[in-house]
Amino acid sequence: MFADAVWNARRPWVAVLVVFFGAGLVARLFAALTDLGVYWPDEVYQSLEPAHGLVFGTALLPWEFVVGARNWGLPGILAGVMKGFAALGITDPHTSLVGIRVGFALASMGTVLGTFRLSRVVGLSLSSSVVGAAALSAMSLAVYFSPRAMSEVAAALPVVWGLALLLERGRTWRVIAGASLLGLAVLLRIHCGLFAVTALVTLVLMGRRRDAALAFAVLCGWALVYGLLDLATWGRFFHSALLYLRFNVVEGRAADWGVQPPAYYTKHLVSSLGALWVALATFAVLGARSAAAVVIPAALFLGAHIALPHKELRFIVPILPLVCVGAAAGLEVVARWRPVAGLVGAVLVLGVSARSLATHRELTFWQVGRVSEAGSAWDSGGPVTRLLFRAGREPSLCGVGLVGWYRHTTFAYTALHRDVPFYEAPLPPVESGFYDVVIAPVGQQPGTVMAREGDFELVRLTERPCVKDPGWEPYLDERTARLAKDPTAL
């Protein structure tokens, strides 16, 4: 009786949700404000850097934005944000970058609320819904990825809220809004089309054929938006989608960036989340039947990515809230069988969630899926980014050289914010006059030290007249430069 009373109480569970939500929010904001490292180049070069190029005219472009293998949806949204900052007089790149990262962190908390709402929509009790949302709020991986401007992070919010609105019976506006959010998710991350398809099938199986037809019409409208965006930016309807699918799925050339075994996701989820992932996965299996509309799409999404040779842990970020909903459903199944068992399970999940949050700053690159990297995953490259901010404030700056680090692991012009060349080793000769400052490991570059961050320092070279480099090209690497000259060489 006691366990049943606790399970069905309201105030204690609301308090639990508030505490975990607040703790998750603080952790995410702290990460957004202090971690200026780069987890994966895509968080810069598929989003922030193209956006900076749109607004300010300077960017290091990757091959995708030379040949058109990505659409301009996410960079376009971020360009609007950057333009808004500029209109408000916020021209400091550090303030702009941190502002965007805070926005992503807040959107991540919106995903937590969406997890709670989706749990309630599929018929779960307040208690189990709170546990699922709390698990996502405190999850170390969710905190780590939250401020990063990646399409997977951005898509998680519209996925969970889109499903919540579509699955909830009621007014027509919910169907329109839910389908629109799923359409937006596909625009941000084409892989999310799987969620849109399974949502339509679910509506039909629920006997809601009229809602399914309306949702299909809305999704067709978003497909038209996708096609028109590609037409306006790349000159062909669905250019980016077709090229992306051909390159990655048909030709399998994403394997050029590495091939991982089928156990990759399980191995790194267990490594990074430990007991929390084991608990969530176990309860999600138990809840697969009662929350099939959520668990099955998540399983299909994970299975599809397991089948692909190239794997990155960030790819499955959109299913993390769905797994938490599935776990909440499994917890509900256990509680209906034995309330005391459900209460013990809830305490277990909350306990391992709290531990995940408490130790989230201990994540290593290997744990978050960067199998070839070592060391802490937090603020890796942050010192270089801070020195780029500093270099950009130099009035006489004519070029920047980078030694002991790589441009693809920096925020490039998003941080530098100056129309000057940005080189990486091997640098042009110092005598060329193409650059006047160098960011290098401490003690490795002769000259006047202007600033120091961690193991790196900003060094001014011997004063000499600046010379414009006639061969400078604003491309991320040599491959991109070749494609810029001959796109058919892809």
Q: What is the CATH number of the domain that holds 413?
A: 3.40.190
Confidence at residue 486, expressed as pLDDT on a 0 to 100 scale: 83
Angle between helices 73-87 and 49-56 (to 10 degrees): 50
User: Has residue 51 been placed in a domain?
Assistant: no
DSSP letters of 384-447? HHHHHHHHHT-TT---EEE-SS-GGGS-HHHHH-SSS-EEESSPPPGGG-S-SEEEEETTSS-S
3-state secondary structure at position 200: helix
268: left (phi over 0), alpha (psi -120 to 50) or beta: alpha
Check whether residue 172 and residue 244 sit in a common domain.
Answer: yes
Check whether residue 161 and residue 277 sit in a common domain.
Answer: yes
**In contact, 162 and 182? CB cutoff 8 Å:** yes
Residue 248, pLDDT > 90, answer no
Residue 460, pLDDT > 80, answer yes
Check whether residue 227 and residue 276 sit in a common domain.
Answer: yes
CA within 13 Å, CB half, 401: 24
Check whether residue 354 and residue 410 sit in a common domain.
Answer: no
> 259 Cβ partners below 8 Å, 6+ apart?
309, 310
User: Has residue 62 been placed in a domain?
Assistant: no
Percent of the chain with pLDDT over 70: 99
Check whether residue 151 and residue 277 sit in a common domain.
Answer: yes
Assign 8 a pLDDT band (cuts: 50, 70, 90).
Answer: confident
Q: CA–CA separation, 61 vs 430, rounded Å?
A: 25
Which tops the pLDDT comparison, 170 or 74? 74
DSSP letters of 308-349? SSS--GGGGGGGHHHHHHHHHHHHHHHHHH-HHHHHHHHHHH
**In contact, 314 and 267? CB cutoff 8 Å:** no
Check whether residue 188 and residue 223 sit in a common domain.
Answer: yes
What is the amino acid identity at position 207? Answer: G
How confident is the model over 112-126, as pLDDT tens digits? 999 999 999 999 999
Check whether residue 358 and residue 395 sit in a common domain.
Answer: no
Check whether residue 304 and residue 155 sit in a common domain.
Answer: yes
Residue 254, pLDDT > 70, answer yes
Check whether residue 218 and residue 350 sit in a common domain.
Answer: yes
Residue range 130-135: mean pLDDT, rounded: 98
Question: What is the rounded average pLDDT for all residues in the chain?
Answer: 94
How confident is the model over 340-389, as pLDDT tens digits? 999 999 999 999 999 999 999 999 999 999 877 778 999 999 999 999 99
Confidence at residue 2, expressed as pLDDT on a 0 to 100 scale: 66
Token pair 């809830």 is at which residue? 346
- Helices and strands, number each (H, E), in the chain: 22, 5
Check whether residue 165 and residue 294 sit in a common domain.
Answer: yes
Backbone angles phi, psi at 429, to 5 degrees: -55, 145
Check whether residue 346 and residue 392 sit in a common domain.
Answer: no
Check whether residue 387 and residue 320 sit in a common domain.
Answer: no
How many domains would you assign to the chain? 2
Own/partner long-range contacts of 190-195 (Cβ < 8 Å, ≥24 apart): 190/241, 190/244, 190/245, 191/301, 191/304, 191/305, 191/315, 191/318, 192/155, 192/159, 192/318, 194/297, 194/300, 194/301, 194/304, 195/159, 195/162, 195/163, 195/297, 195/301, 195/318
Domain that holds residue 459: 382-489
